[in-house]
Structure 1
Amino acid sequence: MRASRLLSLLLLLQNRGRMTAQQLASELEVSVRTIYRDVEALSAAGIPLYGDAGHAGGYQLLGGYRTRLTGLTAAEAEALFLSGLPGPAAELGLGSVLAAATLKLQAALPAPLRGNADRLAERFYLDAPGWYRRPEDVPHLPAVASAVWERQVIQVTYQRWKEPAEVTRRLEPHGLVLKAGTWYVVARCDGAMRTYRVDQIVAATPCDCGFTAEPGFDLASYWHGYLADFHRQLHTGHAVIRLSDNGVRRMRHLLSAAAVTAVETAGVADAGDAGGWVCARVPIESADLALADFLRLGADIEILEPAELREQAARTIQAMAAIYD
């Protein structure tokens, strides 16, 4: 265990340069005291490692030193082959690069690990997009990705759902995120960090200027916060519904995850019905979207509240019945 940690510490310094004891401790999930002991052990083993005290101090390797102790374990090699997504790489213009890197990695692996990698390719395939949707066309993804990589300002024409439908924005792109088959670019615009769907970009022109990244910006942290805010703002209302026993079984495939969770955690048996019906107060995004979801359950659901939604459902069902009368 300690040998693995010492190698990880060495590779961190090799790849990142100067790091403080606190930074190393955070990365390796150990105490600062343990880092001090590990640094002493590496120095005693002849590794040209030195440290500077003070606010700007830290540990680093002497210039030019590189270790060849980079052997992969079986689990690490398998994880690398699972991490490559050919589809997204091709969308970024890196399909051939990923294929070449995979071949080189296979050639460099010992025979037992190479065999494991071949079995992974035979038995696992990662398909990122969700069901019931066609792949989105993202013609400007390579240009956006290049701007992200080069820290280059890019001007885009963006299509949105509200008027004006098309707007021009000058973006300072900080990162790209692939979520459920859809690409998003996180960019600073007019001094604020915002999120844009790349498939909604209808024109993209690189500007002849770079930008400095937002101090302390972390893409993963931003995205988790963005998702949390999105879910908080998504469901702005509630509805009270009754579900039959069959409706409870079918709802997992037809209702939103938030509605399913509400039924499963707070649903109560309908005291006035012996047929196994359950009542629950569920969150909804809007009346129109809720009605579309609820009607998919047919006669296995009854909308009780709000009254406007119940009346809207009644009018829709009567109109449907008239068509088939």
Structure 2
Amino acid sequence: MQKTERLVAITVLLQARGKMTAQRLSNILGVSTRTIYRDIITLSLAHVPVSMEYGPGGGYYLPDDYHLESAIFTREEAISLILSADISGNHNLFAGDTDLHHALVKLEAVLPEEYRIDVMAAREHILVDTSAWCNKTQEPTHLETIRAAVLNSYQLDVLFSDTSCCQVHPGAGMLWRRIEPHGLVFKGLSRRHARVGRWYLVAFCQRCRSFHTLRVSDIEQVYVHEETITPRPNFDLHDYWREARKQLEKLKPPIIFKLHVKAVARYSTLHGDVTILKEEPDGSAIVQVNAESMDDAISYALGLGADATVLDPPHVRMAVAQTAQAITKIYS
């Protein structure tokens, strides 16, 4: 979301929901609280009458008689903002949270007539289908519960593999931990279909007194406590994830392999992180593919069927061959 879109979204949220804290706004818009503070200053300089109430139950708010002026954004920005909400549909973290959608409906209602005509035309001629073929993306079982705990700053008891806390309790398998959830991160994967990825929970473990990154799909059970988390003013989710991602990449380096791909597959089914290394006269090519794991590499190669052959490295070629043989044995 660009800054102008974010400024409009903050104004719409305050108008639709009333008083909101900087932390709540940052959680919804996916930015740091420092960014929200800067945005509030920008809105004030633009004569948007944002006020602040301090103390428990406080937050930013707009006067009851204030109405959003559409003149603070351009025709293109208005269309982009409205269509972004349409594109996101129910495929986002806030699928059960309709207030932002309702707020954007209100925004569309106050657009100038010529803007609304352009939005209608864009909806008629621009379509983004984010669903996979013949499949419905399944969210991790406990994602909605964890999302609510993150936004309400509630502590959690979670049952998960001990890989994140191995320095405290090695080899314990599945274990319970009391954690303080501080953020959720969606990490996209290299796939043919859009919106494929994994959710990660960034949380402070009360036992080992440090932050950890947990894959949401690895969490077996969740229990929500009404006890709130301890505020940690120096924590910034974006800064944390930047470093955590580096560590995750070190622990799980990508699988790099080469394929000979026939022309028909090269132009129709190649996807993801692919580099063309050599083009052949018949239209085929030698390509390099980066996959996130061996399973991903096998799935990628087999997904191309007989139109692609793994050339290198030998262990990837062997893994693909063994999987193909196992499939043949099942169906023979």
TM-score, normalised with respect to structure 1:
0.57
Amino acid in the other structure paired with 1:206:
V
Match of 1:77 in 2: 78
Q: Which has the higher contact order (CA 8 A, sep 6+)?
A: 2
Deviations 1:251-272 (A, max 9, x none): 9626x52xx22xx2xx3579xx
Q: C-alpha separation between the residues in 2 aligned to 1:176 and 1:215? A: 18
In structure 2, relative to structure 1, the CA distance for the partners of 1:310 and 1:91 (3 Å cut) is closer
**3-state DSSP of counterpart to 2:77:** helix
Offset, 1:233: 4.5
- Structure 2 segments unaligned to the other structure (5+ residues): 15-19, 23-33, 50-62, 165-170, 189-194
Q: C-alpha separation between the residues in 2 aligned to 1:229 and 1:205? A: 28
Deviations 1:212-242 (A, max 9, x none): 3443333344445544554555445555x46
| Match for residue 270 of structure 2 among 232, 253, 258 | 253
Offset, 1:177: 3.5
Deviations 1:281-313 (A, max 9, x none): 76565656545543545364253543x555566
Amino acid in the other structure paired with 2:235:
F
Q: C-alpha separation between the residues in 2 aligned to 1:288 and 1:71? A: 50
Match of 1:216 in 2: 234
Amino acid in the other structure paired with 1:298:
A
Q: C-alpha separation between the residues in 2 aligned to 1:138 and 1:189? A: 20
Q: C-alpha separation between the residues in 1 aligned to 2:123 and 2:282? A: 50
Deviations 1:13-60 (A, max 9, x none): x9999xxxxx99x969xxxxxx9xxx8xx9xxx999xxxxxxxxxxxx
CA contact (8 A) 1:173 1:188 kept: yes
In structure 2, relative to structure 1, the CA distance for the partners of 1:152 and 1:114 (3 Å cut) is same
CA contact (8 A) 2:310 2:316 kept: no
Q: C-alpha separation between the residues in 1 aligned to 2:202 and 2:180? A: 5
Tell whether 2:84 aligns with 1:87: no
Q: C-alpha separation between the residues in 1 aligned to 2:151 and 2:113? A: 35
Deviations 1:111-156 (A, max 9, x none): 2233333334444455555557532145544432222222221223
| Match for residue 243 of structure 1 among 260, 266, 269 | 260
Tell whether 2:146 aligns with 1:144: yes
Aligned length: 272
Q: C-alpha separation between the residues in 2 aligned to 1:203 and 1:109? A: 46
Q: C-alpha separation between the residues in 1 aligned to 2:240 and 2:148? A: 21
Match of 1:111 in 2: 113
Q: CA RMSD in A?
A: 5.3
Q: C-alpha separation between the residues in 1 aligned to 2:161 and 2:239? A: 27
In structure 2, relative to structure 1, the CA distance for the partners of 1:98 and 1:139 (3 Å cut) is farther
Amino acid in the other structure paired with 1:74:
R
Q: C-alpha separation between the residues in 2 aligned to 1:200 and 1:168? A: 13
Q: C-alpha separation between the residues in 2 aligned to 1:322 and 1:176? A: 42
Tell whether 2:204 aligns with 1:189: yes
In structure 2, relative to structure 1, the CA distance for the partners of 1:229 and 1:68 (3 Å cut) is same
Q: C-alpha separation between the residues in 1 aligned to 2:306 and 2:48? A: 71
Q: C-alpha separation between the residues in 2 aligned to 1:78 and 1:181? A: 26
Stretch moving more, 187-196 or 229-238: 229-238
Deviations 1:163-201 (A, max 9, x none): 977543323222234452556253223233333444554
Q: C-alpha separation between the residues in 1 aligned to 2:238 and 2:328? A: 50
Amino acid in the other structure paired with 1:243:
H
Offset, 1:210: 1.4
**3-state DSSP of counterpart to 1:253:** coil
CA contact (8 A) 1:148 1:173 kept: yes
| Match for residue 176 of structure 1 among 184, 200, 204 | 184
CA contact (8 A) 1:129 1:181 kept: no
Match of 1:51 in 2: none
| Match for residue 301 of structure 2 among 267, 273, 294 | 294
Amino acid in the other structure paired with 1:148:
V
Structure with a larger share of its residues in helix: 1
Match of 2:156 in 1: 154
Match of 2:59 in 1: none
TM-score, normalised with respect to structure 2:
0.56
- Within 5 Å, give how 1:278-293 maps onto structure 2: 290-293=297-300
**3-state DSSP of counterpart to 1:115:** helix
Q: C-alpha separation between the residues in 2 aligned to 1:216 and 1:144? A: 22
Fraction of identical pairs, as percent:
24
In structure 2, relative to structure 1, the CA distance for the partners of 1:204 and 1:126 (3 Å cut) is farther
